A and B are shown apart, each in its own frame.
Chain A
């Protein structure tokens, strides 16, 4: 088991280097294999952690799962995507794309495994730089604009995150001495001796900084552009895995803050940014004309929902928020793959110009509609379960006002998403080739479907254990 954490990093890193050096047809195969192999390693680590083995704690193991799900399916989808989108791009471009995709996955795997805060910041900033190059690879003017805005906003936002990290470090100097290892466990052990006001300040700066990367409003402005203009696989990795990585760091700082100064400040701030994100996500989603931007606003809405779950502060709501991270990763990546397939066939991403997708693409089109309905919160999918857990946990704390606002905004986004997506799936298909074979891209979507439906029907015992332990860690700082 001890080799698995090393393998989880070494596999995508090796695939990245090999993809750069070898022909792209080989790189595609390697990327698919690396994605699946890394996903298996992550599943084994999560299973071992749930059974008390290994050195990874429950929160880290839990946040490795969305990365595993997304990278595993991205690897498969990339095999089709690079070949399908190769027209007009040269061999070098494809190699760079494959290398950057694997490097991005490698950085995303590293973040939940790091035990110290400054290191996690560096890795998260690393993902910004790689993702900006990936977004740019689409080659359009919109892609350049999105990449520029992304790197500038995310880097400046992360500056606040680093200031939070520095202030948190300073808050413990009188208790731990001027030079100490800034690990999660060290902070938690010394939580009661940290300077309270410095911790509060550090939390606020960290939430602004890492919240920018998580896509929380009002720091979300980069997200629709980057998700919309980037390659499909990059959009899936940004939405499914990177947002959860940023949340992971926020949760670590939240657990320290709760232990040091109590739950009031984090809960209030989570409510404010959560409800604002839900509001903006739900209403901007209604006016979208571009499929991928629609999914991007859905991401903002779901990040808001997760923040609200953390705002409720009850163990059930926190566990629901954590489960929502996994559900969102699986569902959103599946939806992006479907959107990519539809855009490839229809040669447009305009929602108004896509009709009859279920007829034109019987597998991808149908799976896209299912993924979108799952995102809207319909049963029996996983998102329905986690939303219910968040609400039940919230109502259990008798916080009626935010709970009612949350339900109202969820209804708005539900109505908007269902209206837009049923319009795309149903209706008369235009004059585009009909039909598709079950290929590797479909397989990627089916893998997502298994998770989306599976977690809606039941939560495996090992995952339940991880959720409980991780929620305890956030709630009370216990391991």
Chain B
């Protein structure tokens, strides 16, 4: 099994840009169904990048991982999330802690931070950490955190967790494509189980208050 580090710069840069755009678009969306569709699009992109790495490096195991990623993250998980949404109502508006414009500005800020951090680190780390890939992975993770903080809704927070995981998957595929296949599969299984557990808690929450809003989750402080 032979892999090489990094992707051809053009493909990597283009996909990275679209990944960050889909992540930023999550802040524009105030309906949970849209958020789930954006997650599906983003997952399609990370599955695609895994497939490209598989083809360029002739790594069959990465190709299988890309296929499983597609089935799990583009087909199954969005479907499962949509079924959770139907348990609440047909159209779930997501409350926001701050308005969309300010959210987008903050998201742009953390993206800039990710690019600066990656640039600074890779300056000294030389060729071992591809700058654009590290910056993209960090940006997706940082924006995912921001999304989880700024959207006080259980379903939106699950989507935020899933987008963070997409950032990690992108980082794994581009920074460490040789990471053993079994580990990659375990990570996917882990995500699947995590979403099911999240789903159990969401159902309990919805049963209790007929909403996925998490404002009741402000009792345990200090």
Contact = CB atoms under 8 A, between A and B. Distances in A.
Contact of B171 (A147, A151, A166, A224): A166
B222 interface: yes
Nearest to A139: B204
The residue among A181, A182, A197 with the most chain B CB atoms within 10 A of its own CB is A197
Contact of A170 (B165, B175, B214): B175
A201 B121 contact: yes
Contact of A144 (B125, B197, B204): B204
B200 interface: yes
Contacts of B222: 224, 284, 287
A302 to B, nearest CB: 19
A118 B144 CA distance: 22
Contact of B220 (A149, A178, A181, A284): A149
B201 A173 contact: no
B101 interface: no
Helix, strand, loop or mixed for chain A's interface?
Answer: helix
Interface string B13-48: 000000000000000000000000000000000000
A182 B205 contact: no
A287 B222 CA distance: 9
Contacts of B186: 118-119, 122
Contacts of A163: 137-138, 141, 168, 171
Interface string A208-234: 000000000000000011001100000
A228 B3 contact: no
B97 interface: no
A125 interface: yes
A224 B126 CA distance: 42
Interface in B182-222: 183, 186-187, 190, 193-194, 197-198, 200-201, 204-205, 208, 214, 216-217, 219-220, 222
A177 B138 CA distance: 24
B154 interface: yes
A174 interface: yes
Interface size class of A (residues with CB under 8 A): 35 or more
A148 B168 contact: no
B5 interface: yes
Contacts of B214: 148
A284 B193 CA distance: 34
A90 interface: no
A169 B179 CA distance: 7
A197 B194 contact: no
A173 B176 contact: yes
A106 B90 CA distance: 41
B161 interface: yes
A450 to B, nearest CB: 35
B180 interface: yes
A471 interface: no
A178 B3 contact: yes
Nearest to B158: A152
A300 to B, nearest CB: 12
Interface residues of B, number: 53
Contact of A166 (B145, B175, B216): B175
A409 B220 CA distance: 25
Interface in A277-330: 284, 287
Contact of A136 (B138, B190, B204): B204
A178 B177 contact: yes
B3 A156 contact: no
A267 interface: no
A155 B161 contact: yes
A142 B219 contact: yes
A129 B161 contact: no
Contacts of B180: 118, 179, 181-182
Given A152-B157, A167-B175, A173-B178, A145 B190 contact: no
Contacts of A159: 141, 144, 164-165, 167-168
B90 to A, nearest CB: 24
A262 interface: no
Interface string B138-180: 1001001100100000100100010011011001100111111
A146 interface: yes
A180 B217 CA distance: 44
Contact of B145 (A156, A171, A284): A156
Contacts of A126: 190, 193
A39 to B, nearest CB: 28
Contacts of A256: none
Contacts of B208: 141, 144
A195 interface: yes
Contact of B201 (A151, A166, A174, A197): A151
Contacts of A420: none
B5 A173 contact: yes
Contact of A148 (B121, B128, B154, B167): B154
Contact of A225 (B165, B190, B220): B220
A166 B220 contact: no
A16 to B, nearest CB: 15
A185 interface: no
A132 B217 contact: no
A92 to B, nearest CB: 15
Nearest to A147: B201
A175 B198 CA distance: 40
Interface in A104-132: 116, 118-119, 122, 125-126, 128-129, 132
Given A133-B200, A177-B178, A195-B126, A122 B148 contact: no
B129 interface: yes
Given A119-B183, A141-B219, A152-B148, 13 more contacts: A118-B187, A128-B194, A133-B200, A151-B201, A152-B161, A156-B161, A159-B144, A169-B175, A170-B129, A174-B128, A178-B2, A182-B183, A201-B125
Interface of A: 116, 118-119, 122, 125-126, 128-129, 132-133, 136, 141-142, 144-149, 151-152, 155-156, 159-160, 162-163, 166-167, 169-171, 173-174, 177-182, 195, 197-198, 201, 224-225, 228-229, 284, 287
Cβ-closest 4 pairs across A and B: A179-B178, A178-B178, A169-B176, A197-B125
7 contacts: A132-B201, A141-B219, A148-B205, A148-B214, A163-B137, A178-B2, A179-B2
